[in-house]
């Protein structure tokens, strides 16, 4: 009877990778590959650049794994490398106007392109939840990058505060301040715009695009019913809705979702309109 296969522990894989075993490194990298790329994309809001930075991170990690050191985990170690690369990339780049993506989605040529993509043989489907994630990414670029990075690590990618401190090379107090500031800024941006949170919000883009692309208001109503966000006049209830926003975002891989091509197009037009 064959012996059962026992999976190598992370510490064993790290030791093998440090000694030049590329298969061990690949086994370490595989579980973090997509989350790492998603983190980079949500931080910089540019697909090709995020994919390039992810590749740069992987190459740099492979080249430096022999000096792994005392990191708490491979995930924390490689995310720290990625965060350093991304924050350096963002250095000197201007913050986004939080309304740019809204204006981009209102452009007739943009809506025609989205309709073309939605109806093309290379099928791509629009989902309101994915658009909520898209808006979150755009609004994140209106927040200082170090604050966005802290929020993403703790609230989206599931790092403990201690791990996030390690990744960002900061202190617990500074991390807590950055997460709090990012939450407040993003919640304020959403509260003053999003009709899914605030019944007086002016932005209904997620719903209007759903009706435009699916051609059926009933489809939009059903999709909205499935989103756990209820517009409210109460500031307290709208603040609580931010956590429900985050739950939707955590469920989505922005680089591999069903409507990725649609939102890639809209992101390109948003960057072009804002000259980012």
Task: Give phi and psi for 185, each to the nearest 5.
Answer: -65, -45
pLDDT of 155 reads 97
pLDDT of 148 reads 98
Residue ranges, comma separated, of all CATH 1.10.1740.10 domains in the chain are 1-93
pLDDT of 241 reads 81
Fold of domain 1-93? Rna Polymerase Sigma Factor; Chain: A (1.10.1740)
Digit-coded pLDDT (tens) for 77-94: 999 999 999 999 999 999
Half-sphere exposure (Cβ direction) of 104: Cα atoms closer than 13 Å: 26
Let me know if 201 is exposed, middle or buried by CB neighbors in 10 A (0-12, 13-18, 19+).
Answer: middle
pLDDT of 199 reads 76
pLDDT of 200 reads 78
Nearest to 209 by CA among 198, 223, 199, 197: 223
CB burial readout 233-250, b (16+ within 10 A) else e: eeeeebbebbebbbebbe
Cα separations (Å) of 145 from 16, 82, 107, 137, 258?
A: 35, 13, 28, 12, 27
**Given the structure tokens 């296969």, which residue do they identify?**
5
Which two three-digit tokens encode residue 70? 């005392």
Digit-coded pLDDT (tens) for 102-147: 999 999 999 999 999 988 867 678 999 999 999 999 999 999 999 9
One digit per residue, pLDDT tens: the chain, 276 residues? 444 434 579 999 999 999 999 999 999 999 999 999 999 999 999 999 999 999 999 999 999 999 998 899 999 999 999 999 999 999 999 999 999 999 999 999 999 999 999 888 676 789 999 999 999 999 999 999 999 999 999 999 999 999 999 999 999 999 999 999 999 999 999 988 888 887 778 899 999 999 999 988 999 988 888 887 767 667 777 677 888 889 999 999 999 999 999 999 999 999 999 999
Let me know if 268 is exposed, middle or buried by CB neighbors in 10 A (0-12, 13-18, 19+).
Answer: middle
Cα separations (Å) of 71 from 35, 74, 149, 154, 169?
A: 19, 7, 19, 18, 11
Enumerate long-range contacts of 109-112, CB under 8 Å, 24 or more apart: 110/265, 110/266, 110/269, 111/209, 111/212
pTM of this prediction? 0.92
pLDDT of 58 reads 98
Angle between helices 108-118 and 260-274 in degrees, nearest 10: 160
pLDDT of 111 reads 93
Nearest to 134 by CA among 35, 222, 229, 257: 257
pLDDT of 7 reads 58
Q: Is 63 left (phi over 0), alpha (psi -120 to 50) or beta?
A: alpha
């Amino acid at each position: 009877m064959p012996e059962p296969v026992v999976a190598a522990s992370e510490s064993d894989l790290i030791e093998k990778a440090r000694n030049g075993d590329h298969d061990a490194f690949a086994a370490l990298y595989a579980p973090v590959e997509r989350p790492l790329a998603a983190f980079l994309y949500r931080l910089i809001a540019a697909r090709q650049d995020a994919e390039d930075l992810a590749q740069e991170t992987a190459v740099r990690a492979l080249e430096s794994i022999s000096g792994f050191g005392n990191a708490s985990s491979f995930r924390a170690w490689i995310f720290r490398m990625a965060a350093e690369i991304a924050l350096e990339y963002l250095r000197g780049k201007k913050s986004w106007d939080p309304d740019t993506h809204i204006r981009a989605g209102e452009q007739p040529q943009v809506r025609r392109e989205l309709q073309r993509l939605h109806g093309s043989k290379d099928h791509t489907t629009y989902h309101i939840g994915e658009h909520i994630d898209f808006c979150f990414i755009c609004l994140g670029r209106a927040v200082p990058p170090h604050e966005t990075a802290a929020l993403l690590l703790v609230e989206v990618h599931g790092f403990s505060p201690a791990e996030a401190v390690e990744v960002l090379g900061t202190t617990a107090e500074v991390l807590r301040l950055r997460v709090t500031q990012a939450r407040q800024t993003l919640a304020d941006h959403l509260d003053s715009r999003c009709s899914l949170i605030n019944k007086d919000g002016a932005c209904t883009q997620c719903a209007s695009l759903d009706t435009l692309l699916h051609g059926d208001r009933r489809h939009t109503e059903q999709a909205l019913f499935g989103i756990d966000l209820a517009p409210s006049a109460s500031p307290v209830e709208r603040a609580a809705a931010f956590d429900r926003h985050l739950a939707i975002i955590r469920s989505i891989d922005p680089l591999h979702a069903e409507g990725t091509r649609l939102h890639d197009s809209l992101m390109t037009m948003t960057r072009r309109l804002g000259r980012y």
